[in-house]
Chains A and B, each alone.
Chain A
């Protein structure tokens, strides 16, 4: 899932300083699961903003809506009836994708309430960690299911580097060396020989450096 966390209240407060009435929009997808932008967080943020504004003697009116997803037009459209004339700003608690989908649909001041962090998963309640760097051409089968792009600080494809120490990364002693993990795992799988094959330089144009990426599936396209 996309993992995000809330921006400091002060920051969101400043982003809507001019507004009298705001639409606070949650997302029922990833950010609900990582406890950053679901219905509950919408309630907390809206109440916090209202109270902070009341203390500044400039009351704020809020309308709270949580969509199933903000990254799908069929759900975004459901906002139409809430985006009325008097809505001065839309506060989105989705990842950056949701914020942009709302901004693309409505000619309003749309602001992000979250910082979108990474593609990762839940380790335990309240703990999330990055797993995928969205490189566009997965090589996990070459590395025993451990991603060197995101888990190695240098994104080395033929590791480890000379700084790997006692299983830890030289960049941060708290982080496991991804290549140590890869080596251990390949040994466990009896596939150490695979590591002798040099992984060629990656085509980074398939990653984010190549500009906006698209995925097309002809059979799924309706019109």
Chain B
């Protein structure tokens, strides 16, 4: 049996996390291939429904990455995202999923190494939690995504 490789979706703000991912690439920093990046115009655009959909469609973990607090290009998008993520964690618990599968991170576009570190941190966290209970019965490592 193959080892569990978590599938993690990262909703990344274009101005910070997404740019930091780019930088991590240019710096040739390795980070786990478990992360699927979704470019967002702002972390505040991360809709609760879309985050839930990610879990429903097979993500073992999800995180939203926005600018450092006080640095949002749209002033308060990252603060709103933080509140929504906190509320969604409660909803995940009500559903029966571990709230730790969802997290909010803040970083700037120049923090390539931090981007890689977050990717590792989240991958380790989810690896320790094991596959999402919603993925029981699915084949491992990204082969069984339902449409």
Q: Could you list which residues of chain A lie within 8 angstroms of chain B, going by C-beta atoms? A: 8-10, 40, 43-44, 47-48, 50-52, 54-55
Contact = CB atoms under 8 A, between A and B. Distances in A.
A102 B55 CA distance: 32
Residue among B53, B91, B95 with most chain A CB within 10 A:
B95
B57 to A, nearest CB: 10
Given A8-B94, A48-B91, A48-B94, A54 B134 contact: yes
Contacts of A50: 56
B97 A51 contact: yes
Given A48-B52, A50-B56, A51-B55, A9 B134 contact: no
Given A40-B49, A54-B134, A55-B133, A47 B56 contact: yes
B147 interface: no
A51 B56 contact: yes
Given A44-B52, A48-B91, A51-B134, 16 more contacts: A8-B94, A9-B94, A9-B95, A40-B48, A44-B49, A47-B53, A47-B56, A48-B52, A48-B94, A51-B56, A51-B95, A51-B97, A52-B96, A54-B134, A55-B97, A55-B134
Chain B interface bracket (under 10, 10 to 19, 20 to 34, 35 or more): 10 to 19
Contacts of A48: 52, 91, 94-95
Interface string B86-112: 000001001111000000000000000
Interface in B106-137: 133-134
A47 B97 contact: no
B82 to A, nearest CB: 14
Q: Is the interface of A mostly helix, strand, loop or mixed?
A: helix
A97 B2 CA distance: 54
B52 A47 contact: yes
Interface of B: 47-49, 52-53, 55-56, 91, 94-97, 133-134
15 contacts: A8-B94, A40-B48, A40-B49, A43-B49, A47-B49, A47-B53, A47-B56, A48-B91, A48-B95, A51-B52, A51-B56, A51-B96, A52-B95, A52-B96, A55-B133
A8 B48 CA distance: 17
B7 to A, nearest CB: 16
A8 B134 CA distance: 21
Contacts of B49: 40, 43-44, 47
Contacts of B56: 47, 50-51
A195 B97 CA distance: 58
Residue among A8, A10, A43 with most chain B CB within 10 A:
A43
A44 B48 contact: yes
A64 to B, nearest CB: 10
Q: Which 6 A-B residue pairings sit nearest by Cβ, starting from the closest?
A: A9-B94, A43-B49, A47-B52, A55-B96, A52-B95, A51-B95
A55 B95 contact: yes
A44 B91 contact: yes
Residue among A40, A47, A48, A55 with most chain B CB within 10 A:
A47
Contacts of A51: 52, 55-56, 95-97, 134
Contacts of B91: 9, 44, 48
